[in-house]
Amino acid sequence: MILINLLPHRDAARKRKRELFFIALGIAAFIGGLICAAVYSWYETQIVGQKDKNTLLQTEISKLEGKIKDISGLQQEIAALRARQNAVEDLQGNRNMPVYLLAELVKQLPDGVYINSMKQDNQTVLITGVAQSNERVSELLRNLANNSVWLNKPELVEITAAPVPLSARDQRRVSNFAMRVTLKRASDQAKPSALAAPGPKA
């Protein structure tokens, strides 16, 4: 006996395929949503973590900026203290400069030269005096230029001849002179000695 199926089996198969398609589509959409949610939460966690790191960095930068300001203030105070220390040392070292000036002039004055006056302006000293001859003045200039420790750069301003009466009938010609000389500071004296100190041999 032959059985013939008269039901619309093609429509039923097509309906089953459509239902399977929608079910698979729903499952794919659900899985896609889960993946998107997971990715979003991961990125959100990373963003929150980076914001926390940025906040920490900003806090540390603010602290470092405060420390830098403190250090710059300390450096200015140190520079001011060093300037004061140098000023005090200069005053302390230059306190004995008149003594050095007089002692050096006593050592460098040749015979036949007499000093009438001295005037100091900062480190420049104007010396006026009388010499028996021009040669004596030249000798004084050479001594101050080559042999003096505290005086240097002697410069003759003027020299004039003048008669000096020795008695009622006797006169002698002398040379009136004026010269400038530079007085070294005590700090300038320390520099050449420091440079001349020999270093350790290799």
Do 163 and 176 form a contact (C-beta atoms < 8 A)? no
pLDDT tens-digit series, residues 31-75: 999 999 999 999 999 999 999 999 999 999 988 988 888 888 888
Which residue, 106, 164, 154, is CA-closest to 127?
A: 154
Per the structure, the complete domain to which residue 142 belongs is given by 97-185
In 19-149, at which residue ranges do the beta strands (DSSP E only) sit? Answer: 113-121, 124-131
Residues 65 and 103 reside in one and the same domain: no
pLDDT tens-digit series, residues 95-121: 777 777 788 888 888 888 888 888 888
Residues 112 and 82 reside in one and the same domain: no
The whole-number pLDDT of residue 188 equals 60
Final residue in a domain of this structure, among 61, 95, 129: 95
In a domain, 5, yes or no: no
How many domains are there within the chain?
2
